[in-house]
Chain A
Amino acid sequence: MFEALIHGLYLALSWKAFSLMMLTIPIGLTLGILPGVGGKVGLAILIPFCYGMPPEVGFAFLLGMHAVVHTGSPIPAILFNTPDGPAAATCVDGYPMAQKGEAGRAMGAALAASGVGGVVGAICMALTIPVVKPVVLAFGPPEFFTMTLVGLTFVAVMASESLIKGLMAGGMGMIISFVGMDPQTGVVRFAFNQLYLFDGINIVNVVIGIFAIAEVIDLGIQEAGAIAHTRPEDVKGAGVWQGIKDTFIHWKLTVRASVIGSIIGMVPGLGGDAASWICYGHAVQSSKTPERFGKGAVEGVLAPEAANNSKEGGGLIPTLAFGIPAGSGMAVLLGAFMVLGLVPGQEMLTKHLDVVFSMVWVLAFANVIGVLISLAFVGQLAKISFIKTSIIIPLILSFALLGSYLATSNFGDIFVTLAMGGVGYGMKAFKFPRGSFVLGMVLGKLSENYLHLSMNLYGTKFLLRPITLLLIAIVITSIVYQIIRKRKMVTR
């Protein structure tokens, strides 16, 4: 294990991996500052660039960007009160601090806490791998088949306000994954005699359509030219330094929030919003002066920001070990596994353990470097909020369509991406969880393969294996729990 850890460090520090990580860190920071774009769109656009890269280089390229998206997000949240997803919790105290003339301090605290959170998240991930490894090695095809059901159910149940919508979104994704030649039977399914569809629909086109094109439509119909309309106050100087010191004065809170965030990150479907709000609540509860919160308490900035960045380390654990992404961002990242030729599960924790540890190192390095860049250029980064949608749209659209074309270098890819963009916008408008769709697409083929393997090995008796039974019970319990919770909400 220790050998893999050191080899992982060597892989992360190889010039190609490190330089590509350095290239994508500013992209991640920029995407974090632009509300409505976000890390998923960034991943969707960057995945096509990974073709032909060795896995460790590809993950450095993608994780470098993904790890720091939440480092950039407190900047508009604090300066302009424009929350986007998990950064909403930061607004509660961050914006009042800015109004009191403490924007620099709030920024310093948010950025330093993000850095600490990211590093603690990476450490949590490294410490969890030895614990998870024997569990994963004890799993066979029946257990992995039921794990795919657990993942789909968890995300459908928790990521959506409606269980039906979540399950349907997952179902749609699974059906899309069945398009093309079935490797088990040799039958070409749902291809409408189109040669282009015989190889199936590429995950890259689906991800770009569902997230990037849908976001472009959303950006296009917003009236606002840019997210910020007023000039921010100067955030340089002693205030920022005071904020950094605050992180270490309240180090116990920062570390606790990071650990909580990391644990929440491991639960499929809970996502970043839950991590930041739960940690904000923890900061209020554990404070001796809770009345200060909401009026500009620095602890109210530290806790959610630490949790935001630490959850990524936690989220990688179920993704790598079981192929069950913890959230929609991880579902998109799981698509990158296919592009890079890796299969999550036992192989990741045995054959490719060094690659897994290289991810730990990349997470830690990217967070530290991202924070240093943000602290050095905080004033300039704030100006990104003034970029108009009339500039953002051509940029995203061009790279999205270019990326989708690169999937198989066929113009049909662009049509698939467009169709998926339409579906994605419909899902966004009518509140169907798009993460469940991508998850269904990723897990669809896997679950079918595991089912056929299980049937060949054990017949229908595979359903009676102890771990399989336990996992089926978890699936049923989570669905029943959601139905009861929904009914309670309706009666209230």
Chain B
Amino acid sequence: MKLKPKAYFSLFLIIFFGAVIIGAMRYNAKARLIPLVVGLPCLAMAISQFILDLSKERKKGISGEEELFKGVMEKLIHQEIITEEKREKKTSGVRKRFFMIVFWILFLVACLYVFGFSIAIPLFTILFMRYKREKWVLTLSTAAGLWILIYIAFAVAAGIELYRGLIIDLLMGVQ
């Protein structure tokens, strides 16, 4: 049987609390007391939630995507952007946007790691806004504004040295 996202989340909780209990058993009695007091009932609740999710799925028969994006779909319906009839068709679009935004977040993190904050943030802003088909003037002014804001708030006002990125570190190491 194919599991739905809701049940996957409950399964994640079972694994999480299970791992906590197994991990806690290695500690001495005092150190494991509270983790076990919290973990054991939570594991029992996660199992019951998993069973509940499985039984609800059988009754409702709604698609997994619809379950995962239920909140967003409800919001869109409330804003009268889509009607109930178009719901199913729109779900796949929402799924695509979900993967895109996750990609963009991971892309920013990768950029931060490689280029550091001062390059990655304006670079990400430009690429993201251009992907969203914003005009060049707005895109560049937003990126510049954001960079100036961060520079003033951190480098000037707070005197904080931000992470410089792998490339700068490598270059400085070479020098």
Binding site for B on A (CB under 8 A): 49, 82, 164-165, 167-168, 171-172, 174-175, 178, 182, 184-185, 187, 189-190, 213, 216-224, 227, 388, 390-391, 393-395, 397-398, 401-402, 405-406, 409, 411, 414-415, 418, 421, 426, 428-431, 444, 447-448, 451-452
Contacts and interface: CB of A to CB of B under 8 A. Distances in A.
Given A391-B142, A428-B71, A190 B34 contact: no
B42 A223 contact: no
Contact of A429 (B30, B41, B71, B81): B71
Instruction: With a 10 A CB-CB cut-off, give which of B24, B28, B34 has the most chain A CB atoms.
Output: B34
A317 to B, nearest CB: 27
B132 interface: yes
B117 A217 contact: no
B7 to A, nearest CB: 10
A411 B163 CA distance: 8
16 contacts: A167-B42, A168-B46, A172-B16, A174-B38, A175-B38, A178-B34, A189-B27, A189-B35, A223-B82, A394-B143, A397-B108, A401-B109, A411-B113, A411-B163, A429-B68, A430-B6
B49 A223 contact: no
Contacts of A429: 5, 9, 68-71
Instruction: With a 10 A CB-CB cut-off, give which of A393, A406, A430, A448 has the most chain B CB atoms.
Output: A430
Contacts of B112: 401, 411, 414
Nearest to A35: B75
Contact of B20 (A165, A185, A190): A190
Contacts of B39: 171, 175
Interface string B127-165: 011001010001000110010001001100010101100
A391 to B, nearest CB: 6
Contacts of A165: 49
B114 to A, nearest CB: 11
B162 A405 contact: yes
Given A221-B72, A390-B128, A401-B109, 7 more contacts: A175-B38, A175-B42, A223-B94, A393-B101, A394-B146, A429-B9, A447-B34
Given A221-B72, A421-B105, A398 B150 contact: yes
B54 interface: no
B4 to A, nearest CB: 10
Contacts of B46: 168
Nearest to A186: B31
Nearest to A163: B45
A241 B93 CA distance: 46
Instruction: With a 10 A CB-CB cut-off, give which of A175, A222, A388, A411 has the most chain B CB atoms.
Output: A175
Interface in B8-52: 9, 12-13, 16-17, 20, 23-24, 27-28, 30-31, 33-35, 38-39, 41-42, 45-46, 48-49
What 8 A-B pairs have minimum CB-CB distances, sorted nearest first?
Answer: A220-B101, A390-B132, A171-B42, A187-B31, A394-B125, A221-B97, A185-B31, A448-B34
Nearest to A166: B45
Contacts of B42: 167-168, 171-172, 175
Contacts of B162: 402, 405
Contacts of B81: 223-224
B45 to A, nearest CB: 5
B30 A185 contact: yes
Given A405-B163, A429-B68, A223 B146 contact: no
B98 A390 contact: no
Contacts, number: 165
Contacts of A216: 101, 105
B168 interface: no
Contacts of A452: 30
A394 B38 CA distance: 38
A164 B132 contact: no
Contact of B35 (A49, A178, A217, A405): A178
A275 B67 CA distance: 30
Given A220-B101, A402-B117, A418-B109, A390 B31 contact: no
Contact of B129 (A219, A390, A421, A451): A390
Contacts of A223: 76, 81-82, 90, 93-94, 97
Contact of B45 (A168, A189, A190, A431): A168
B100 interface: yes
Nearest to B49: A164
B49 A220 contact: no
Contacts of B153: 49
A172 B142 CA distance: 38
B150 A402 contact: yes
B116 to A, nearest CB: 10
A204 to B, nearest CB: 15
Instruction: With a 10 A CB-CB cut-off, give which of A168, A185, A426 has the most chain B CB atoms.
Output: A168
Contact of B13 (A172, A391, A444): A172
A444 B162 CA distance: 31
Contacts of A164: 45, 48-49
Nearest to B30: A185
A82 B128 contact: no
A172 B12 CA distance: 12
A185 B71 CA distance: 43
B79 interface: yes
Nearest to A393: B128
Contact of B69 (A189, A221, A391): A221
Instruction: With a 10 A CB-CB cut-off, give which of B23, B93, B153 has the most chain A CB atoms.
Output: B23
A221 B101 contact: yes
Contacts of A184: 30-31
Contacts of B17: 171, 175
A411 B93 CA distance: 33
A430 B23 CA distance: 27
A217 B12 contact: no
Interface string B76-103: 1001011000000010011001101110
Contacts of A393: 101, 104, 128
Contact of A394 (B12, B13, B31, B128): B128
A426 B12 contact: yes
B30 A394 contact: no
